[in-house]
Amino acid sequence: MTVASDVAGGSRHDRVPAAYAVLDRLDGRVLEVNEAFVTLLGRPRETLLAGSWSDLLTVAGRIYSETHLMPMLDLNGRVEEVALDVVADGGRIPVLLNAVLDRTGERASIRVVLFGASARRRYETELLRATREAQEARQQADELARTLQQTLIPPVPPAIPRLEVSAVYRPAGDGDEVGGDFYDVFNVGPSTWVVVLGDVAGKGVRAAAVTAFIRHAVRDLAMQVADPADLLHALDRALHARPTERFCSAVLLRLTEDDAGWSIAGAAGGHPLPILGRRDGTLVDLGRPGSLVGLLDDPLFTTFTHRLAPDEFVTLLTDGVTEARRGRELFGEDAVRDVVRSRASDPDGVSAAVVAAVVDYQAGLPHDDIAVLTLHPSAPDGAVR
């Protein structure tokens, strides 16, 4: 007994449980089809044998076949698990295709096996759609975070008559993550300015939302509360009143100008103290440490005051500076002071120098945000600086 007879256009592969066809490599004519192929395509065997491979494909399938399948078959000898739609009598049928190139005959031929793959392809299409949606959602989230960060990057400080303010902000890493550092400089009276610099716990969009809240709250409260310690208390209560668990550290200065120059009232909450420097390189801390803002039930903040001499400057910085790490080693307060001291003769360059030193210390990729702000009285008109 043999089933390998070629009777009435039949195929010796009629009993093979997969749709099988042989094509001419050069012109794509269909040379042989088995019973399962006839059944899958739902077209008479004679029709199939009178046609060519491209008759069985959608237009897109033809392009794919010509640009991908055939070159790979020619150069590689075979292809496997290629997804295509074939055009059957009843419409399109998704299939997976395996094919080999056979050069043994007079003319090269292609042996093709098709597997109906409707259910699988539906599932895959769903997965693909879900993957695309996930990618799009991620892109949108990234975009949102970036946009948000752009709006939260502390602004260039305003120009203040007779007071020089220079501030530098450097986001963590390569700068694509929304951080929690902030600063703000604004006017609350004819000759009164408020400077605030702080750091919200955590990173990302949630921290950024709290940062935005704090900046607005400070601006609002500063119009009502003059004393810096009282203002930090008010901010502490405002943060407690929010449903989130976020807290921050902050240092706040209120600068007032009178005939004798600038005087400062300030307070710090859970934050490195302001550094008061003189051009001769002397550095001292201003004020006393205070509690983190928005964390404790009974926080402590203390207002200090200081009259700024013409040769003095004040530098505020976030803990991204002092706590910058290299392995297990900290940059530390002494290193910060060394940098500040080295630039004391030219306070305008202090902020940039500190940030550059910290970034450099961490090989260009700081782990945390860094914000540094320096202010000093302008040189009197006509004076040589």
Q: How far apart are CA 297 and CA 135, in angstroms?
A: 43
**Closest separation in Å from C-beta 18 to other proteins:** 18
- Pick between residue 71 and residue 380 the one whose CB is nearest to other proteins: 71
CA dist 181 → 89, 200, 295, 367, 374 (Å) = 66, 6, 17, 13, 16
Q: Could you tell me how far CA 360 lies from the centroid of its own chain?
A: 22
Among residues 46, 124, 126, 176, the one that binds other proteins under rule CB under 8 A:
124
Minimum CB–partner distance for residue 130 and other proteins (Å): 11
The residue (of 31 and 352) whose beta carbon lies closer to other proteins is 31
- Cβ(290)–Cβ(269) under 8 Å? yes
| Number of residues located near other proteins, criterion CB under 8 A | 37
> Residue 174 CB, nearest distance to other proteins (Å)?
16
Tokens 């991908």 identify what position? 68
Taking the least distance from each CB to other proteins, the nearer of 126 and 360 is 126
Chain residues 79-108 in contact with other proteins, contact rule CB under 8 A: 79-85
Q: Show contacts with other proteins in window 2-61 (CB under 8 A).
A: 25-28, 54, 58-61
> 5 vs 118, which CB is nearer to other proteins?
118
From 33-41, 62-70, 166-174, 269-277, give the range in contact with other proteins by CB under 8 A: 62-70
CB 266 within 8 A of CB 251: yes
Residue 172 near residue 320, CB atoms below 8 Å: yes
Quick check: 320 binds other proteins (CB under 8 A)?
no
Answer yes or no whether residue 118 interacts with other proteins by CB under 8 A: no
Are the C-beta atoms of 352 and 360 separated by less than 8 Å? Answer: no
DSSP string over 228-283 = HHHHHHHHHHHHHHSSS---EEEEEEEEEEETTEEEEEEEEESSPPPEEEETTS-E
Kindly state the smallest distance separating residue 208's Cβ from other proteins, in Å.
26
Indicate whether 121 belongs to the interface with other proteins (CB under 8 A): yes
Nearer to other proteins among residue 85 and residue 312 (C-beta): 85
User: Could you say which residues in the range 234-253 bind other proteins, by CB under 8 A?
Assistant: none
**DSSP-assigned beta bridge partners for residue 263:** 256, 307
Closer Cβ to other proteins, 70 or 273, answer by number: 70
Q: Which element (helix H / strand E) includes 109?
A: strand 109-116
| CA dist., res. 52 & res. 110, Å (int) | 12
CB of 181 to other proteins, least distance (A): 31
Residues that bind other proteins (CB under 8 A): 25-28, 54, 58-64, 66-68, 70-72, 74-85, 121, 124-125, 127-128, 131, 135
